[in-house]
Amino acid sequence: NNVARIMGIPFPKITMEQTLELLGKVIDQDQAGLFHVVTGNPEIVMSCQNDKQLRSIIDEAGLITADGIGIVMVSRIKGGHLPERVTGCDLLIKMLEAGNRKKWSFYFLGADEVTNRRASEVITQTYPNVSVLGGHHGFFSEEEGLKIVEEIRSLEPDVLIVALGAPYAERWIHKHKSSLNAKIAIGVGGSLDIIAG
């Protein structure tokens, strides 16, 4: 059995390395449609219990990862044994390392304006072969949101990083899935704050 069920949510038993391999293939194969990665933390799992709409967003996602040691530990108690945690921040760093080798392009949405700009600068300096196509802070109106979707659509990033907090990021990605011309979109929580330092 290759999934561990935690409160009904099926987490595939994959390591960070396997996750990167999978996402690398998604980018290389250029398949139709956006591949949504949910970094599944306890809050998301809990919210799914009485939020059917969120549950269906998770079910439709391409991948849900074990975001935190809590999810991994619960899987072990239940005998499901997830191999390791794959948190949003760790996954983002690994994606940037791989992107630096393979010249992937990124767009960064979320966090406040100063943090978003600072994170982009740090990433550009640290990963010079990554192309940072653009970014926008995460405190926007509905109308501004549509302009952001248009911008991302025209830039066609390989990877769209959405740091709006869970489950807002998951809902936002799902809502705009068919309009965003990105190969992969990942909700990463407070990762841009960590990178900005």
Q: Which residues bind ligand UDP (CB under 6 A)?
A: 110-112, 138-139, 163-166, 189-190, 192-193
The Cβ-side half-sphere exposure at 180, using a 13 Å CA radius, reads: 28
No. of helices (H) and no. of strands (E), the chain: 9, 8
Closer to ligand UDP by CB, 19 or 39: give it. Answer: 39
Shortest reach from residue 167's CB to ligand UDP, in Å: 8
Q: Which is nearer to ligand UDP, 4 or 163 (CB)?
A: 163
Q: How many C-beta atoms surround the C-beta of residue 147 within 10 A? A: 12
Nearer to ligand UDP, 130 or 164 (CB): 164
- Least distance from C-beta 166 to ligand UDP, angstroms? 4
At its nearest, how many Å lie between ligand UDP and the CB of residue 94? Answer: 17
Q: Which residue's C-beta sits nearest to ligand UDP? A: 138
For 34, 128, 140, 184, the CA distances from 146, given in Å and listed in that order, are 17, 30, 10, 19
Shortest distance, CB of residue 46 to ligand UDP, whole angstroms?
12
Distance between start and end Cα atoms, the chain: 40
The nearer residue to ligand UDP, 92 or 132, going by C-beta atoms, is 92
8: region left, alpha or beta (phi > 0 left; psi from -120 to 50 alpha):
left
- Least distance to ligand UDP, CB of residue 2, Å: 26
Minimum CB distance to ligand UDP smaller for 27 or for 170: 170
Q: Which strands make up the sheet holding 184-187, listed edge to edge?
A: 63-66, 35-40, 184-187, 159-163, 105-110, 131-136
> 65 vs 23, 89, 127, CA distance in Å?
12, 12, 24
Nearer to ligand UDP, 24 or 190 (CB): 190
Shortest distance, CB of residue 188 to ligand UDP, whole angstroms? Answer: 8
